[in-house]
């Protein structure tokens, strides 16, 4: 029998084609990986919160309580006290601004209970305890809405427990957290931030790190400050 001829040339061509396809596949995979990494980094940069707050070595409680888009071009940082009457008056004005500016405005609340207000620290603890269950802002609003009730109570813990039930919190856990270490740490961190900024009153508001003058028509003044900060962007 004659031996079948071996097509050396055809085998070389096939090998070259396979190598070419392999090289193309590697290049394509590298390009796709690079594009994917670029998209990931782009989204990572966009998703990282950009909160423009007053400069100090004391950052306050982390993470801060933020209502609105953390990547908003304007950040309003309030240092408040739930017993404080001017804070109570400011509350609906801030809600109006949040509604009107939408995703262009991020609002941060910092605890700064004043020592002259006998129930302020109780309110701060209740809000932070609710925050540990993801309901800080709901409790924040309820504390202001029912301010006349719990600030006059001999023992506001009864009212706070009722607020917790209304917000569908785990009331047993809430009651423990009110007096717990995590709540105390968050309040202390916010107070340290306020002290580092030289604050001796409430409310105090910063817009993109600049202290706002809360005088006259406060809502209009803050609106003007926010619009000026947006124009500066």
| Residue extents of the structural domains in the chain | 10-48, 65-232
Higher per-residue confidence, 224 vs 42: 224
- Helices then strands, each counted (H, E), the chain: 9, 5
pLDDT in tens, 71-84: 999 999 999 999 99
Average pLDDT of span 198-219: 96
The predicted structure's pLDDT at residue 117: 97
The residue behind tokens 């995590």 is 182
Residue 41 in contact with residue 33, Cβ under 8 Å? no
Let me know if domain 65-232 sits in CATH 3.40.50.2300.
no
Given a cut of 90, is residue 4 above it in pLDDT? no
Q: In what order do the strands lie in the sheet with 105-111?
A: 65-68, 105-111, 74-80, 204-207, 210-211
Query: Going by DSSP bridges, is the β-strand pair 65-68/74-80 parallel, antiparallel, or unpaired?
Result: unpaired
pLDDT in tens, 162-174: 999 999 999 999 9
pLDDT in tens, 129-172: 999 999 999 999 999 999 999 999 999 999 999 999 999 999 99
CA distance 41 to 51: 19
Distance from the Cα of residue 137 to its chain's centroid: 11
CA distance 201 to 185: 21
Cβ atoms within 10 Å of 106's Cβ, excluding its own: 25
Mean pLDDT of the chain: 85
Given a cut of 60, is residue 20 above it in pLDDT? no
The answer to whether the pTM exceeds 0.95 is no
Q: What are the φ and ψ backbone dihedral angles of 152, each rounded to 5 degrees?
A: -100, 0
**Tokens read off for 155:** 């023992």
Query: 52 pLDDT band (50/70/90 cuts)?
Result: confident
The predicted structure's pLDDT at residue 48: 56
């Amino acid at each position: 029998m004659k031996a079948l001829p071996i097509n050396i040339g055809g085998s070389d061509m096939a090998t070259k084609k396979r190598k070419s396809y392999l090289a193309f596949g590697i290049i394509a995979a590298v390009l796709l990986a690079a594009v994917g990494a670029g998209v990931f980094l782009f989204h990572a940069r966009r998703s990282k919160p950009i909160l423009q707050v007053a400069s100090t070595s004391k950052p306050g409680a982390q993470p801060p309580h933020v209502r609105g888009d953390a990547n908003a071009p304007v950040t309003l940082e309030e240092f408040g006290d739930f017993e404080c009457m001017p804070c109570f008056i400011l509350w609906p004005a801030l809600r109006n601004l949040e509604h009107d500016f939408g995703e262009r405005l991020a609002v941060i609340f910092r605890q700064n209970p004043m020592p002259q207000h006998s129930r302020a620290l109780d309110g701060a603890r209740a809000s932070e305890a609710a925050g540990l269950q993801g309901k800080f802002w709901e409790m924040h609003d309820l504390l202001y809405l029912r301010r006349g009730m719990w600030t006059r109570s001999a023992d506001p813990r009864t009212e706070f427990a009722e607020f917790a039930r209304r917000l569908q919190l785990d009331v047993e856990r809430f009651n423990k957290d009110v007096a717990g270490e995590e709540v105390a740490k968050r309040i202390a961190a916010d107070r340290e931030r306020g002290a580092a900024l030289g604050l001796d009153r409430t409310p105090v508001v910063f817009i993109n790190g600049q202290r706002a003058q809360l005088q006259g028509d406060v809502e209009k003044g803050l609106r003007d400050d926010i619009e000026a900060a947006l124009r500066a962007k």
